[in-house]
Amino acid sequence: MFSSKKKQPPIRTLIGEGTVIQGEVRFTEGLRIDGEVHGDVFATGEGHSILVISEKARVHGKVKAAHVIINGSVAGPVVSDGLLELQPKASIVGDVRYEVLEMHQGATIEGDMRPLKAEEKPALKLAASNGG
């Protein structure tokens, strides 16, 4: 899946510890959050993106990016179009959708977890229901 290691985009934006942002945050390439965001956080544009939510960070809103690394807390749904990494101190209260998941011991999720591909799968058919 990730065997053709793509180079990570640079993290050009930092929301520092002690900073509180009210409102939606949109970014390209990379964003690291060490502070607090009250609003949705979205990667925009085409291409690979990375979002790091550090151990001290708090996000109250939707989160969406290709590669998402969480070690802080998120109160809202999380969508990762690529790799979702949940570090030991990650805490999510909300539904989680991912392409690939890496979850460390200690991470917690209160919500529904489903791979993105599961939403595209057709309904299951039982083999016994064949016309025979």
The string of pLDDT tens digits covering residues 68-115 is 999 999 999 999 999 999 999 999 999 999 999 999 999 999 999 999
pLDDT of residue 23: 97
Assign 46 a pLDDT band (cuts: 50, 70, 90): confident
Assign 1 a pLDDT band (cuts: 50, 70, 90): very low
Range 84-122 burial, b when 16+ CB lie within 10 A, else e: bbbbebbbbebbbbbbeeebeeebebeeeeeeeeeeeee
pLDDT of residue 117: 83
pLDDT of residue 34: 98
pLDDT of residue 125: 46
pLDDT of residue 8: 82
